[in-house]
Chains A and B, each alone.
Chain A
Amino acid sequence: MINATAPLLDVRDLTVTINREGRLVTALDKVSFFVNPGEVLGIVGESGAGKSITGAAIIDLLVPPLKRTGGTITLAGERLDQLSPKAMRGVRGGRIGFVFQDPMTSLNPVITIGQQLCDTIQAHLKLGGNQTKKRAHDWLDRVGLPNPDVQFKRYPHQLSGGMRQRVVIALALCADPVLVIADEPTTALDVSVQAHILELLRDLHRESNVSMMLITHDLGVIAKMADRVAVLYAGRVAEIGPVGELFNAPRHPYTRGLIRATPMPSATGEMRLDQIPGAMPGLGAVPPGCAFNPRCFRAEGDCRATIPPLYRQESSAFSCFHPLERVPA
């Protein structure tokens, strides 16, 4: 059951553990967020924060030693976390499409790209052979492959990296999903090609109004693409907010630290670069209390004792006992 105000995807207290020789280590610790219909939710954080695991957990692609051990995942009213593995296979590539950083993880090197598209379409939509083929052609055209007729019969290795990622995007979208999870879709590409792929994702999003989870460590990509942003730190949600608010008036000290540590010219042209001391703790080395406390300039006694809860207000949330005032970053 969907109505205008209900989120399309609702993730609550998602917890993932890693089994390290019998010792259970928490990789995702009660992660909660939602994605509204037609919305682009950016997921940002540094390497190891748990971004990819979050995406993989939603489509049930975690493999041992990783295991989902708690929380609920609801897509359009349906509990995905309770589905059988077989039913989940129907959701993957069907109602949820996905795009990974390395296009070759999604492509089969020995099957032509046309055939791969046809296979995906046939697996998820009840279409006849000719219609399937036509749809596959149309998608190659839509994602901007020159001469779709020729490309149809080509193999992944015959395409450039940027063109391969276009094919993966076609694969993710060709079965009319309601949600696309894109995990670092442009990270492996050069800047000049990256902007093409972002533009393509944006155009397709506007046409289809599909919801998107865009996972990246690149704040510039987030600033251009996301409606709302979730910031992850050490397997927990630090802050969630509308993109403009989050960039211009973050509440969580880590969010502001991350923004200010990114080398970028400011509006007036000068460059700034503020560092955060230390580094994100590795798995199993998360300090007690707030995970950010050893690096935080606002940390006090309570931060070292208790994990701050996620304080929610409308479309934003933050997990901090001593949040920043709403002043420009």
Chain B
Amino acid sequence: MSASDFLVLNHVSKVYRRNQSLIERLKKSESGGTKAVSDVSLTVRHGETMGLVGESGCGKSTLARLVSGLMAPTSGEISFPPNASGNKSRLQMIFQDPYSSLNGRWTIEDIIAEPIRVHKLRTGSAAIRARVDELLVQVGLSAADAEKYPQEFSGGQRQRICIARALAGEPDFLVLDEPTSALDVSVQAQILNLLRDLQKNLHLTSLFITHNLSVVRIMADRIGVMYLGELVEEATSEELFRKPRHPYTRLLIDAAPDMDTSDRSLHPIAGELPNPAFPPSGCRFHTRCPFAQEICRNTSPPQKATESGGMFRCHFDLDLSDATVFPPAAQVRMA
């Protein structure tokens, strides 16, 4: 642990217990739940944006809720090492859905003022109102919007309001769970640019979660890739895209269609996403991995550190820096 560590996750797991059947209880079977997050170790440093990507059900939101303290891990520890001033860090979350996360009966002023009141950051209604106006302007809205209600705003404007509300709590840590996934691209670009400016100007530390690799590449300093509850790779943004070390990372990068109309090839990943409640044995990616060997089916791969401070979980040290991996033809069968 170094002085710049802000958030440390140490072998964190979360199991959602499913109602076990009588038979299962009698057999005391261990399969009674979804291990949504499995043995994740991760460090976020001061002032850094850590990105998390992965397909649906891989445990991103679960990890966000764990980090936010909304629920406790089943095992492992999550800690915020105290900083030099000894202050406890203040955390705010921003969610995907700007529609349901704002109370329609409150004015924008009420909504943004709430964290200010809760944390007693300003006293007196004039000072609070002045702060609300300042925040509205900071997120690209105007002071006149304070009297309106959420229904009067578009999706992008509502997400700006959510951001203003989060900033009102004067957080030093932001957890953003798919903050732009519900927005149109032209509006998403505005919100991403706004968040980037805020990160820079306010020196925020953040955890940025998305399923969109291009978005995370723009936003994050470092990126963690999750697959079926596990963190399979972690590296700086630049390195992750230039030289991925885990086959899933490589295939995920290639699978998303880009805008190059001269190369119209598609790169699906063999097979389907397994049910996260029943992950495959050994390496969880072995049912779809073009490099899988016998050992992958039985033994779960160790975490390996890279020279540059990253990590990956694979039995082999593969060179995956080439643009596209062509799996051995015979193995490309539908699962």
Q: List the interface of chain A (C-beta within 8 A of B).
A: 46-47, 144, 146, 160, 162-163, 190-196, 198-199, 202, 217-221, 223-225, 243-244, 247-248, 257-259, 261-265, 267, 269, 271, 273-277, 279-280, 282
In the complex, which residues 248-281 of chain B have their Cβ closer than 8 Å to any Cβ of chain A?
A: 251-252, 255-262, 264-269, 272-273
Interface residue? B290 (CB, 8 A): no
Structural contact, B259 and A219, CB atoms closer than 8 A: yes
Interface residue? B117 (CB, 8 A): no
Contact with A along B79-115 (1 / 0, CB 8 A): 0000000000000000000000000000000000000
Q: What's the Cα separation between A224 and B265 when bound, in Å?
A: 7
* Extra contacts besides A160-B272, A162-B272, A223-B261 (15): CB < 8 Å: A190-B211, A193-B272, A219-B185, A219-B259, A224-B264, A257-B186, A263-B192, A263-B218, A269-B242, A271-B217, A271-B218, A275-B193, A276-B189, A279-B155, A282-B154
Q: List the interface of chain B (C-beta within 8 A of A).
A: 55-56, 154-157, 184-190, 192-193, 211-212, 214-215, 217-218, 241-242, 251-252, 255-262, 264-269, 272-273, 288, 334-335
Contacts of B157 in A (CB 8 A): 279
Q: Which residue of A lies closest to B238 (CB)?
A: A269
Structural contact, B214 and A195, CB atoms closer than 8 A: no
Interface contacts (Cβ under 8 Å), in number, total 130
**A263-B214, A273-B218 known; A224 vs B156 contact (CB < 8 Å):** no
Structural contact, B189 and A263, CB atoms closer than 8 A: yes
Q: What's the Cα separation between A224 and B155 when bound, in Å?
A: 29
Structural contact, B257 and A195, CB atoms closer than 8 A: yes
- Shortest CB-to-CB span from B164 to chain A, Å, is 17
Q: What's the Cα separation between A73 and B115 when bound, in Å?
A: 55
By Cβ-Cβ distance, the 6 closest A-B pairs, closest first, are A220-B257, A195-B268, A192-B269, A46-B184, A261-B189, A275-B189
Of A191, A196, A265, most buried by chain B (CB within 10 Å of CB) is A191
Q: Out of A47, A199, A267, which one reaches B260, CB within 8 Å?
A: A267
Structural contact, B255 and A217, CB atoms closer than 8 A: no
Structural contact, A279 and B218, CB atoms closer than 8 A: no
Q: What's the Cα separation between A274 and B193 when bound, in Å?
A: 9
Contacts of A192 in B (CB 8 A): 55, 251-252, 255, 268-269, 273, 288
Structural contact, B192 and A279, CB atoms closer than 8 A: no
Structural contact, B266 and A279, CB atoms closer than 8 A: no
**Pairs A–B under 8 Å by Cβ, sample size 15:** A163-B272, A190-B56, A191-B256, A193-B272, A194-B268, A217-B184, A224-B265, A225-B264, A247-B261, A262-B259, A263-B192, A271-B217, A273-B192, A276-B189, A276-B190
Contacts of B269 in A (CB 8 A): 192, 195
- Shortest CB-to-CB span from B145 to chain A, Å, is 14
Contacts of B56 in A (CB 8 A): 190
Contacts of A263 in B (CB 8 A): 188-189, 192, 212, 214-215, 217-218
Q: Out of B242, B257, B335, which one reaches A223, CB within 8 Å?
A: B257
Contacts of B268 in A (CB 8 A): 192-196, 198-199
Q: Which residue of B lies closest to A45 (CB)?
A: B184
- Shortest CB-to-CB span from B90 to chain A, Å, is 29
Of B157, B184, B215, most buried by chain A (CB within 10 Å of CB) is B184
**A46-B184, A263-B217 known; A223 vs B189 contact (CB < 8 Å):** no
Structural contact, B266 and A243, CB atoms closer than 8 A: no
**A191-B55, A223-B257, A271-B218 known; A217 vs B185 contact (CB < 8 Å):** yes
Contacts of A198 in B (CB 8 A): 257, 266, 268
Q: Which residue of A lies closest to B269 (CB)?
A: A192
Q: What's the Cα separation between A15 and B252 when bound, in Å?
A: 41
Q: Which residue of A lies closest to B333 (CB)?
A: A146
Q: Which residue of A lies closest to B242 (CB)?
A: A269
Contacts of B264 in A (CB 8 A): 223-225
Contacts of B217 in A (CB 8 A): 263, 265, 271
Contacts of B261 in A (CB 8 A): 223, 243-244, 247-248
